[in-house]
Chains A and B, each alone.
Chain A
C-alpha cells in the first residue's frame, strides 16, 4: 500500500512552527502588575495585600478591609491570601521578582530575617506616625525588633499568640463538682472524679500523634514554668537544650500518664481529633494555643455546631506551685511594607488602621488572634458568659507576661515532638533530651 508522507519542506515548516508556537506559549505567561500610580490623597489607589491563611483569616480581614474602604473611598485593597504552608516559599520569590505588594503580613520568625532586605524600615514609611508605636507594650516592640538583625523595625505588631493554654468545659466540671485544676495533682484527682461520675470522659486531650509538634509546645510550657529563662537561653544565647530543667519537665510529663492525669489512650489524637473529642464533650479539657480562643465565641460554636454552652480558660497547671503557671508567647502577625510597594503612604495608613486603629475591632472580634495593641477588649456581645469573658482576659494576661518567647525553632519543633512521643511510651528521658541536644548541635536546623 502506498504511504502518504508529508513532503520534506512541509515537515520542516510544520516542525518549525510547532517549536515556535511552544516557545511563544512558554514565554507569554508573564504579565505586568499594572503601572505605578501616584500617591496623591484623592487619587484612586489599589493596595495589594499579601497575608497567609488564618492571619487573621479571609473573613476577618474582609471585614476590616470593607471598614477601611468605607473610610477611604479612593482606596481599594486586594487581599491575596496565600495558604500558610506556601507562604514562606511564595513571598520571597514574589519579592525577588519585584512583584507589587504594598502591605505584607510578615511572619514573626526566621522568615522575617530572610526578607528583611526587601522591606522598608518603618522610619522610611511616608506619613507613618511614630506615636503609633506607643500603643504597643515595650515587650511587644522589643519582640518585634528581635525579628531583624539590626535592631530596627521593618514591620509593626498586629497580633500575638501564646501556647500552651487550656480550655475547659464549664458545665461538665460543674456537673462532677470540680474546680478548674491549678496543679497536675488536681488534674489527677479530676480524672478519678470523672471516672466515677462521668465514665467515658477523659480529663485531658491535646494534639499529638501525627501532630506531635504540639507536644514540644506543651513540654516547653512545663519547662518554662520551672525555668523561665530556658527557652530564651536556647533561642537567643545558644544555651543548652538538655538542661536539668528540660529533663525534669520531660520526666514530669511522663509521670502525668502514670498518675492518670493524662490518659495514654489520647496520645494518638491528631489536632482535629483532639479538638473534636473536646467539642463532643468526651474530654473535660483541651490544651492548645491561644489561636483556639475562637471557641469562646458563642457565634463560632453555633456556626460549627459545637454543643458546649460554656467554655472557660485555664493556664497549663503547675507541677507544684500554682503561681508558676505561665506560657510562652510571641508576635503572631506583623505588618510590613516591601521596598517594591507602589503606595507606601496609603499602605502605612492602612497598617496603622489594622494594628492600632479602628480596624482591630473588625478582625479581632473572631478572637482567634489576640490584638497586639494595649488594652483591647472584645466588643460587647462577642463573649457571652462570665467564664468566657474571664477566660479571654486570662489569655490576654498570660500572653502579656510570658515566661519566654514563643519564637519557635521551626523544623526542630516537629522532630522534638516525635521524640517526645517516645517518652509517653517509656523511653529514657535523659537519652531523649540528649538526642534532641545532638540534633540541635548538628546544625542541620539552623
Chain B
C-alpha cells in the first residue's frame, strides 16, 4: 500500500511546492496593490477592457455562430417540433399544443424507460465508486503485470460500445453462448438461463454490461491517484491503518472531486447507452430493459407522424438530464460548504 506512486514532481515531503506558495490565494498585499493601481486610473482601464472585450468577441465570433447554428437552433427546432404532429418529411406539420407531452407523461413505457435509465446509471455508479475505485487503487500500488491489468480493464472502454455489446449478446446466448456452455461444462446446467429474454436476467445482463464498462472510472481514479501526496499515506501507515482502512478512510474521501466526475459522467452517459440495449435485448422482454434512447429510436425510425412525439420525448429527457445535473451540482456545493 505504501508503494503508491510518488508525485511526478518528486515531492514527498508534504511541503507546499514553491510555485504554489508564490500564488496569492487571498486578499494579500500583492492583490491589494494591483487594485489600488487600477482604481487610480479607472477611465483608462475601462477603455482598455472595452477594447479587449471587442477583440475577444471577434475571436469568439466563429464559435459563437457555430454554437448558435448547431446547438441553439437545433434545440429551438426540437422544441418547436415537439408541439406538432409531423412525419420525418417535416411537411404539413399540425400544431397539437401540449398533446405530445401529455401522451408521454401518461405513457407507462416512457416512464419505465426513464426509470430504467436512472436504475442502470445508479447501479453502474455504485459499482464504479466501489469496485472501480478498488481496482484503480490496487493497480496504483504497483502490482505485478500492472500494465496488463490496465489493458484488460481499459480496452473495453476503448472499443466501440456496439462491438462490446454484440460480443456480450453472443456470450449470453442460451444455446451457444459461452456463459451457459461454461456452466454446462462444470455440471452446473441448472444455473443456465435465458439471460437476454427472461425479465430478471435480462435486466441483470444489462446491468452487468454497464458495470463491465468501468474502465473510464478506473482511468479517472488512476489519474487522480498519481496526484495524491504519499506523505498522507505514510502518516496513515505510521498510525497503524491497514490497506482497506487507508482506502476507505483516507483515499476515498480525498478523491471527492473524482467521485463527482464519475457520478456525473456515468449518470449522463447512461442516457446515451443506446447500443448496449439495442444490440442485446432490444429493450425486451416487454419493456423491462427499455431505455429512453431506444424508446425514442423506435418513433424516429417509424414511418408514421411520430416525429413530434419523439421530439417531445427528447425534450423531456433533456429536462431530466439537466435536472439531474443541477441536483448534482447543488449537492456538491452543499457538501463543500
- What would 11 A/B residue contacts be, using CB atoms closer than 8 Å? A89-B300, A92-B90, A209-B197, A210-B280, A264-B194, A265-B175, A269-B173, A411-B301, A442-B103, A442-B107, A446-B305
Complex: A54 Cα to B305 Cα, angstroms? 24
Q: How far is the CB of A103 from chain B (nearest CB, A)?
A: 19
Q: If A22-B62, A212-B284, A442-B103 touch, does A267 touch B197 (CB 8 Å cutoff)?
A: yes
Chain B 105-120 against A: per-residue CB contact (8 Å), 1 yes, 0 no?
0110100000000000
* Of A92, A93, A269, A425, the contact of B199 (CB 8 Å cutoff): A425
Q: Does B156 contact A (CB under 8 A)?
A: no
The number of residue pairs between A and B whose CB atoms lie closer than 8 Å in the complex comes to 155
Give Cα A439–Cα B54 distance, bound, in whole angstroms.
56
Q: How far is the CB of B272 from chain A (nearest CB, A)?
A: 18
Provide the residues of chain A in CB contact with B286, threshold 8 Å. 418-419, 421-422, 427
In Å, the complex CA distance between A22 and B64 comes to: 12
Residues of B bordering A, CB below 8 Å = 51, 54-55, 58-59, 61-62, 65-66, 69, 87-92, 103, 106-107, 109, 169, 172-175, 194-199, 278-287, 290, 298-306, 309
Q: How far is the CB of B88 from chain A (nearest CB, A)?
A: 5
In the complex, A292 Cα to B74 Cα: how many Å? 40
Chain A residues with CB below 8 A from B55, complex form: 8, 11-12, 15
Residues of A within 8 A of B173 (CB): 268-269, 273
Chain A residue with minimal CB distance to B170? A273
Q: Which residue of B lies closest to A432 (CB)?
A: B286
Interface residues of A in 243-272 (CB under 8 A from B): 264-270
Query: Once the chains bind, are B91 and A209 in contact (CB under 8 Å)?
Result: no
Contact of A193 with B by CB under 8 A: no
Query: Which residues of A are in contact with B by a Cβ distance under 8 Å?
Result: 8, 11-12, 15-16, 18-19, 22-23, 26, 85, 88-89, 92-93, 95-96, 107, 109-111, 114-115, 117, 208-212, 264-270, 273, 277, 409-411, 414-415, 417-419, 421-422, 424-425, 427, 439, 442-446
In the complex, A445 Cα to B85 Cα: how many Å? 11
Which residue from B92, B304, B309 sits with its C-beta under 8 Å from A110?
B304
Q: Is the CB of B306 within 8 A of A445?
A: yes
| Distance of A316 from chain B, by nearest CB (Å) | 21
Residue of A nearest to B63 (CB): A22
Query: Which chain B residue has the least Cβ–Cβ distance from A95?
Result: B89
State which of A209, A277, A422 has its C-beta within 8 Å of the C-beta of B281: A209
Whether A92 pairs with B51 at a CB distance below 8 angstroms is no
Closest residue of chain A to B286, judged by CB? A422
